Structure 1
Amino acid sequence: MLLASLNPAAVAGGADLSDAVTIGDTALSRSDLVGAATSVAERVGGASRVAILATPSVTTVLAVTGCLIAGVPFVPVPADVGAAERTHILTDSGAQAWLGELPADTGGLQHVPVRLHARSWHRYVEPDSDAPAYIMYTSGTTGAPKGVQTSRRAVAADIDALAAAWQWTPEDTLVHGLPLFHVHGLVLGLLGSLRIGNRFVHTGKPTPDGYAQAAEKSGGTLFFGVPTVWSRVVSDAAAATALRSARLLVSGSAALPVPVFDRLVSLTGHAPVERYGSTESLITLSTLVDGDRRPGWVGLPLDGVQTRLVDDGGAPVPHDGETIGHLHVRGPMLFDGYLNREAATAEVLGDDGWYRTGDVAVIDDGGMHRIVGRESVDLIKTGGHRVGAGEIETALLGHPGVDEVAVVGVPDDDLGQRIVAYVVGDTDPDSLIQFVAEQLSVHKRPREVRLVGELPRNAMGKVLKKELAQWD
């Protein structure tokens, strides 16, 4: 059973929990979840797909849970998505209705409400494990967003592998304030909690104060955040100190700057666990709760996962911690393909089961992985050298005058690509160039440093480097 903690027989037999899910001032018990979500299932049963406006709300929780009970694939739609992108998602997915909350523009779809106090105790047969659980759309940074089809089997396999890596148990209380339309917040946070049976607390927004209050009031033991969240937490010493009572801090969705990692250790007493994944693969790599947690490294393959690192010609590259290669992964949590995009699927997912991630990485002789970045924007070929943007960004973040940084390669007639660093901070650009040259090989120094007020980011805090590279 995918949502193992919501087994109706077990809940009826006394395995209830009065605050299984808490969002804001509303708490739902397991019996509340089973009864209300089954009522949702009765209203959507038989639909091919439904769209859910994925706000951080109890309505969203019940809508998602009801779809999983009924075996109806759902399409989580970001609440702040633009009209054109929302229209594309609805049209491409073939969603038949909005379930739960409504956006300002419904796109002409009918509305199926979620009634918070409705209850049904109908028993549904568990859907086939290979059936799609949801269709989640990519961010669209490389074209129109693509619908990623993920099976129930893949979700279960990933959560179980993470439970082993993080010693995640029903005794935990998981806290986060991340969006419920991405893997981190929705699949790991909500579905993970409903499968494992731990308490789930959503703070509405991922603020330092919200996390601190959850630690104190809810006894939070497991906290999820993206680097932007952890950067804000360490800027609030009181909030960070409140997290000392936690068991584990998890960071993902982008690289955690080393200074933020170090500051978390200093203020909270916890070295954060970093992990790696994508909408297509879910999480495939992670540092372990009882293993080496090294700043800048995302760990080892999870149970059932294989990785390989190859050069441009497909030949293996050495696992020496230095040589950059294209990262491919294989495991039971991979997606089943892009909806309506056979050609796009074939480009990244081979018949042999290997998923070409589009990321470049290095692996050391112990099997630890470090993600250099995206092939398209983070692998810079300059003067005959292959340079990872992440290494330069890490060096620059060690300078006291740098708050944020993004490094890109821009076309250059002489070098092929010229290394340019966009820096949020207050310091002399020439001194930053020299600073990098003193720490790394000279050819890795930025040829240009541009001071900016802020970096363009998406909803998960990832820097939009393709947009940045077009800045003049």
Structure 2
Amino acid sequence: MLFPTLTPNAPDIPDAITIGDDQLSREDLVGAATAVAERVAGARVLAVYARPTTDTVLAIVGCLIAGVAAVPVPPDSGAREMEHILGDSGAQAWLGAAPDDPTLPVIPVRRYARSWHRHPEPPGSATALILYTSGTTGLPKGVPISRSAIAAGLDALAGAWGWTADDALAHGLPLFHVHGLILGMLGPLRRAGRLIHTVTPSAANYAAAMGRGATMFFGVPTVWNRIAADQSAAQSLSSARLLVSGSAPLPVPVFEKIRDLTGHEIVERYGMTETMITVSTRVDGERRPGWVGLPLAGVETRLREGDSDLPHDGETVGDLHVRGPMMSTGYLDQPEKTAESWLDDGFFATGDVAVIGPDGMHRIVGRRATDLIKSGGFRIGAGEIETVLLAHPAVDEVAVIGIPDDDLGQRIVAYVVGGRVPDTELIDMVSAELSHHKRPREIRFVESLPRNAMGKVQKKLLD
């Protein structure tokens, strides 16, 4: 079963789900979500307006109980994106809340309705969720996620992180992506633990979650950077069991500052919508700044250049391929796009470039399209330059890209958020720390970096 403890006979937990100041006991969750399942049984696909509310939890869990595919829709979606998601997914109605002037019927979620009917467990191959990619290269693509993939992914993380029913997970992440929804909401349900959703991921809210018994915290790097800047809030997390970062690379200076303030070395992990989480540092293993860890149980990885395997020597940069039981099997109704990434031997071509050490530790260099820079005949990872620049006290944020250059092929350009210092000061800093050919040829100071909802920098918007 996907949720073995979500049955009428399971022990109750008064605060199993806390979202802001709203709470659901486990008994409330089972009764109300089963009532939702009664209402939607027989539907194929339903859209959920994924705001951070208990109604969203009941809608998603009700669909999972009934065996109906749920499509979590970002509430900040523009009209064009929302129309695409609804049409592409084949959603038949909104379940629960809906946007203004909905174009589909709306099925209400009745918070205080109760049902104790036992629904048969759908097959593991059944689609549980249809998630949409961030759409950095066009309209977002639908990714069907099966029930067995969710179970395999969450169980592998439980092994890596020592995640048990005794844990209370706190975070303020959106409930429409792998990080906030599958790991952050379905994870506590599968582990039979508690969820504390802070609605907004502020340093103050994370600190307050400690008073509610939180033991684990999830955040994106932007969140951890804000917590690192609030000494009191950071120190309040010292008694947590585990701090986890994902969805974007965690800058080494943030890792180090959180370690200094809390005594915790943040667990980093790597994944995608298409694969869920495949690589992570472990609760009982090394947590090396800038590295995302080892393959999870059941996962295989490799580095490739074309059809050739590359060595795992800690230096060679190559295309990262992954294979494991938590992966999706393709994009929704896009066989050509599927064939580009899901390879004949079962590996998924992530589009990321990485380095793998002799000990199996992985370091993600970045996206091949934007983070692998070919300058003067050298293959250069943008991430290592960004790490050096972030160590400068005047640099708050940075994004490094390669732009076309008639002489070099690509010229390294660094976009910097922070205090204005002479360009040469930053360029010389990189030259002193890394090889001379890795120095930026240009520094561009900007007020902010373009990011998506999960905090990932949209480098394609920089130019």
- TM-score > 0.5, shorter chain as reference: yes
Question: How far 1:466 sits from its partner (Å)?
Answer: 0.5
In structure 1, what is the Cα distance between the partners aligned to 2:327 and 2:426? 41
Which residue of 1 is the match for residue 17 of structure 2? 21
- 1:110 & 1:62 partners in 2: Cα distance? 18
After TM superposition, list the pairs within 5 Å mapping 1:259-338 onto structure 2.
259-311=253-305, 313-338=306-331
One-letter amino acid of the structure 1 residue matched with residue 45 of structure 2: R
- The one-character-per-residue Cα deviations of 1:41-89 (angstroms, maximum 9, x if unpaired) are 1111111100000000000000000000000000000011111000000
In the other structure, the counterpart of 1:369 is 362
Match of 1:356 among 349, 354, 365: 349
Aligned match for 1:161, one of 156, 163, 182: 156
Gaps of 5+ in 1: none
By how many angstroms is 1:351 displaced?
2.8
Alignment check: 8 A CA contact 1:3 1:194 kept = yes
Amino acid at match of 2:402: G
d(CA) in 2 for partners of 1:174, 1:21: 10
- Counterpart of 1:235 (choices 229, 235, 241) is 229
Tell me the CA shift for residue 16 of structure 1.
Answer: 1.2
Aligned with 1:190 (options 178, 185, 190): 185
Is 1:130 equivalent to 2:120 in the alignment?
A: no
Matches within 5 A, 1:64-143: 64-106=60-102, 108-143=103-138
Q: Deviations over 1:137-172 (max 9, x none)?
A: 011101111000110000000000000000000001
RMSD after superposition? 0.7
**Corresponding letter in the other structure for 2:202:** T
**Amino acid of the residue matched to residue 384 of structure 2?**
E
1:385 matches 2:378: yes
Please tell me whether the aligned partners of residues 429 and 451 of structure 1 are also in contact (alpha carbons under 8 angstroms). no
Q: 3-state DSSP class of the match of 1:65?
A: helix
Whether the 8 Å CA contact 1:457–1:463 is kept in 2: the answer is yes
Taking the aligned partners of 1:69 and 1:347, their CA distance within structure 2 comes to: 34
Measure the CA separation in 2 of the matches of 1:241 and 1:175: 16
Residue 455 (1) aligns with residue 428 (2): no
1: distance between equivalents of 2:307 and 2:368? 14
Mapping for residues 7-46 of structure 1, pairs under 5 Å: 7-9=7-9, 11=10, 15-46=11-42
Q: Distance in 2 between matches of 1:243 and 1:82?
A: 36
Q: Distance in 2 between matches of 1:353 and 1:51?
A: 30
Q: Is the 8 A contact 1:406 1:421 kept in 2?
A: yes
Query: Are 1:145 and 2:140 counterparts?
Result: yes
- Partner of 1:284: helix, strand, or coil? strand
Please say which of residues 382-391 and 18-27 is displaced more in the overlay. 18-27
Q: Distance in 1 between matches of 2:426 and 2:7?
A: 57
Q: Secondary structure at the match of 1:6?
A: coil
Q: Say if 1:274 and 1:287, in contact at 8 Å, map to a contact too.
A: yes
Alpha-carbon distance between aligned partners in 2 of 1:277 and 1:210, rounded to the nearest angstrom: 26
TM-score by length of 2: 0.99
Unaligned runs of 5+ in 2: none
Matched, 1:214 2:209: yes
SS at match of 1:377: helix
Q: Report if the CA contact (8 A) 1:222-1:246 is conserved.
A: yes
Determine whether 1:438 maps to 2:417.
no
| TM-score, with length taken from structure 1 | 0.97
Q: For residues 193 and 457 of structure 2, what CA distance do their matches in structure 1 show? A: 32
Show the counterpart of 1:2.
Answer: 2
The aligned counterpart of 1:403 is 396
2 CA distance for matches of 1:69 and 1:428? Answer: 59
* Structure 2: distance between partners of 1:318 and 1:21: 46
Percentage identity across aligned positions? Answer: 64
1:225 to 198, 219, 237: 219
Report deviation, 1:176: 0.2
Task: Tell me the CA shift for residue 7 of structure 1.
Answer: 2.6
- How many residue pairs are counted as aligned between the two chains? 462
Structure 1: 4+ residue segments shifted above 4 A: none
